[in-house]
Structure 1
Amino acid sequence: MLDDWRLSGSPLLIDGEAVPGARRFATVDPATGEVLGEAADADRDDLDRAVAAARRAFDESGWAGDLALRVRCLRQLREALTRHADELRELTIREVGAPRFLTYGAQLDAPVADLAWFADLAETYDWERDLGRAAPMGVASDRRVVREPVGVVAAITPWNFPHQINLAKLGPALAAGNTVVLKPAPDTPWCAAALGRLILEETDVPPGVVNVVTGTDHTLGARLTADPRVDLISFTGSTATGRAVMRGAAETLKRVFLELGGKSAFIVLDDADLKSACSYAAFAGITHAGQGCAITTRLLVPRNRHDDAVEITARTMEKIGVGDPGDDGTVCGPVISARQRDRIEGHLRLAAEEGGSFATGGHRADRDRGFWIEPTLITGLTNESRTAREEIFGPVLIVLPHDGDDDAVRIANDSPYGLSGAVHGGDLDRARAVARRLRTGTVSVNGGIWYAADVPFGGYKQSGVGREMGVAGFEEYLETKAIAEGAA
């Protein structure tokens, strides 16, 4: 797949056809800075055709009403992605800079497997519920509630976990009977185009049901948001862009799902195994170079154990270091681009200006090529600092002392975000009690993993609106209709 696309580029998928696009743009290996090849660069006309195809496929084809076809196509897609897993794995490592070990989990294998769960859910879902007979205002009526697809879904996705996020939107949207226009980030066009290619060549998905539009024109997302032919926007990305999506969708009052930023807290209670907890926090915080919205980037430790916690965490981060994402043992690879590297460096300068110190890291990693930041641990700041409140999206942790459970919860919740969190403690009931008090959409207790197809994911506050995955995520893509029939 890599060699093939270096020669031919990756096409758009519009109305059941591979479309080369009038323009091309480069996709880059973040580990080396080298150009991998080219992708189709969609313009406004391409986007217009994609939306028109999705609208037509929803309104005029039998897709929305053919549950058996939808289930079959989802299972075909899962089988196709599984057959091509080795090729997709190498593509993901090269284009995303994802560590190889992650492709066996959330970067590839897990979201592919999740498609089966959505296919099964669609088969067993209670699409119609009988409410029985009643006589409102003296009129005997037989009533039922029907769940139906929303219509045309615009899925706008980021670069950090492209397969997971693309499939977390496509899977439930298609299972529910919607049609989709997928607009991926320009940093990872091949990952999305590969999905489109397999849908076209190895499934029975009808023309127009899935359209994949790659491109560098950042106004395309805004056009999707405002387009009256689009019924729902499913967006994952920054909180700032999420606000713009909400504003753009307001004109047509379309439904919006937003999965946005995070500044999640990792709380170490005073009865926790400090070495184990802080080592785990270091690993979690710099996995995939910290490029995850739900990664825990504020480490809250007991004040009287602060210095020991800093030493353990810094030592672990130094031991992990950075490495070639293709190597089996790499945890922290490159950041996605020069632009992102420069942005992270701006945050590191800000941390120093605010009075912070670097227990380790604080600079670019010593690599000849590519886009690299050293795993970095910042001390000496308060939770009121910008460094503690703004999402950095790099391999950067900040350590904050707390004075007991109540103080830890206060600090953790004192954030504009509420996406995720973690609690480590010796007494499980106590750790659970702290977890219940966190204003976040997901919480890990003592290393528990919440990611799974059946677990709803999303945030409180400025971390988003709605839920992805699970039954709740599936129902984001459904309308509710009440029908009453006069009884004889």
Structure 2
Amino acid sequence: MATLSDGKLYIDGKLRDAAGGKTYDDIGPWTGEVIARAADASAEDMEEAIAAARRAFDETDWPTNPAKRRELVTKLVEKLKANRDRLAEIARHEVGSAPGATAMAQVDGPLGFIHRLFDIFDQIEWEKPMGDSTTFGLKTDRIVVKEPIGVVGVITPWNAPLYISIGKVIPALLVGCTVVIKPAPDTPLMSAIWGELADEVGLPAGVLNVVTGSDPALLGEMLTTDPRIDLISFTGSTGVGKRIMEKGSATLKRVFLELGGKSAAIVLEDTPDFAMTVAQSIVCFHAGQGCATITRLLVPRSRYEEAIAVLEQTYAYYATMWGNPDDPANVMGPLISARQRDRVMSYIESGKAEGARLLAGGNIAIDKGAGFFVEPTCFVDVTNDMKIAREEIFGPVLVVIPFEDDEDAIRIANDSDYGLSGAVRSGNPERALRIARRIRSGTISINGGLPINVDLPFGGYKQSGIGKEWGLEGFHEYLATKAIGVGIAA
């Protein structure tokens, strides 16, 4: 059994226990055993954190001293990089990351590009002169200025907590906001370390606060409903996102919501590497626990049987390739919890009941140990009205749907409540681009191109969310716009 350091709260510049010393067990997905204990915050603890963040924004020079912010945030970033090995251990044992996933999106990826956020920060146009104008006989000099929006409640999910925290916390701090982080109950340590490192670099009291807790709703609802919080930046399920939007409406706070997806890949009949493309569609990275994961594979009916044969061979081969916590090439480990495992299995049973054909997987992988393992699973003969084709499963489940022609493929891809990601493959790039332009989705890959990067805005259409993260657009989520008119004497 792995043992990690217990997690503490970080409130108003102090690392401390929760009120009354209350803690809760942090369960490791690989083993199902306790790997650490985390501070279990109360409403009283969250109240102190919100008050501290409000004071730091209203009563200190943090919002108005960019040189100070840049210096301290740079130190915080360097501390994160210096703690790479510790972050990797947390990702492995708390998040359930396989070594290959840790080397990519979980730890090494975000640490490798975090420095580029400073370059994007430098692109912000803080003041824009609008020139003189005479209206109703009044001559006015006009300026449009950008300012930090205020106190930000950051609510992070359990699937990629470091990556997502970096995308929220660093831009918010750089532009001059103060922050309260509330992580998912399943992954408290990946947020608790932010408090430890903030303490080491000497961030001013209240600028960054970390509040962990076992209750899945209490602390987040406090952030969402409190009028002292100016913005909620949330990544997670569409259901929770809807509740945040509803509860936040009472105080008319701004909400950024990066929510679920049910993304489709369209593989056209003229794809030169058709078999390889179909084989690479297997859902395995981080056990399918990714909002932008492509989980609907659309293939032409003219090559449907060929695609099924390729997938049958691929899944049979991969059955022995996943689940090893020590294999550097392995990208698939367990699901985050017993609850998530059971949820995924309920969708698999639904697929069977609705008439889809189970091509591969479909079982709890008891041979992998006592953790929360589900086999890589593939359904064929799926229609787009089935539950497994319409709802986000957030597990290693691929559904395969045939289409007749380009118009049919576009129709199926767009027939979804979601619009986060997607892909088109074709031997004709112009044809692929025409199709991609008609897909209602925030990101689209054409022929393997990567539409997700630190300098690109990320966010979805429809019920996949509101707003953009990363890129210059991601920084603007944390800014307010003010117009100033200065009278000019006649």
Q: Which residue of 1 aligns with 2:471?
A: 470
Instruction: Calculate percent identity across the aligned residue pairs.
Output: 49
Identify the match of residue 205 of structure 1 among 196, 199, 203: 203
The TM-score with structure 2 as length reference comes to: 0.96
Unmatched runs of 5 consecutive residues or more in structure 1: none
How far 1:307 moved relative to its partner?
Answer: 1.6
Q: Which residue of 2 aligns with 1:274?
A: 274
- Call closer, same or farther: CA 1:312–1:45 in 2, change over 3 Å: same
Letter of the 2:109 partner, please give it: A
- The 3-state SS of whatever aligns with 1:240 is helix
Alpha carbons 1:57, 1:179 under 8 Å: kept = yes
Q: How does 1:51-450 map to 2 (within 5 A)?
A: 51-201=50-200, 203-217=201-215, 218-272=217-271, 273-282=273-282, 285-321=283-319, 322-365=322-365, 366-450=367-451
312-321 or 413-422: bigger deviation = 312-321
Partner Cα distance (2:189, 2:302) in 1: 49
How far 1:330 moved relative to its partner?
Answer: 1.0
How far 1:252 moved relative to its partner?
Answer: 0.4
How far 1:255 moved relative to its partner?
Answer: 0.4
Partner Cα distance (1:271, 1:77) in 2: 49
- The 3-state SS of whatever aligns with 2:115 is helix
How far 1:4 moved relative to its partner?
Answer: 6.2
Q: How many residue pairs are counted as aligned between the two chains? A: 481
Partner Cα distance (1:311, 1:31) in 2: 32
How far 1:121 moved relative to its partner?
Answer: 2.9
How far 1:77 moved relative to its partner?
Answer: 1.6
Alpha carbons 1:67, 1:122 under 8 Å: kept = no
Alpha carbons 1:23, 1:40 under 8 Å: kept = yes
Cα deviation code 1:40-84 (max 9, x no counterpart): 111100100000000000000110011111111221122111111
- The 3-state SS of whatever aligns with 1:175 is helix
Alpha carbons 2:4, 2:90 under 8 Å: kept = no
Letter of the 2:253 partner, please give it: K
Partner Cα distance (2:3, 2:350) in 1: 42
111-120 or 157-166: bigger deviation = 111-120
Alpha carbons 2:120, 2:471 under 8 Å: kept = no
Partner Cα distance (2:133, 2:69) in 1: 35
- The 3-state SS of whatever aligns with 2:358 is strand
How far 1:301 moved relative to its partner?
Answer: 0.3
Q: Which residue of 2 aligns with 1:452?
A: 453
How far 1:124 moved relative to its partner?
Answer: 4.1
Unmatched runs of 5 consecutive residues or more in structure 2: none
Partner Cα distance (2:446, 2:199) in 1: 42
Partner Cα distance (2:369, 2:182) in 1: 33
Identify the match of residue 8 of structure 2 among 11, 18, 28: 11
- The 3-state SS of whatever aligns with 1:125 is coil
Cα deviation code 1:185-232 (max 9, x no counterpart): 01111111112211111x232111110111112221111100011000
How far 1:270 moved relative to its partner?
Answer: 0.8
Alpha carbons 1:74, 1:119 under 8 Å: kept = no
Partner Cα distance (1:327, 1:148) in 2: 47
The TM-score with structure 1 as length reference comes to: 0.96
Alpha carbons 2:267, 2:299 under 8 Å: kept = yes
Alpha carbons 2:9, 2:15 under 8 Å: kept = yes
Alpha carbons 2:101, 2:332 under 8 Å: kept = no
Alpha carbons 1:97, 1:325 under 8 Å: kept = no
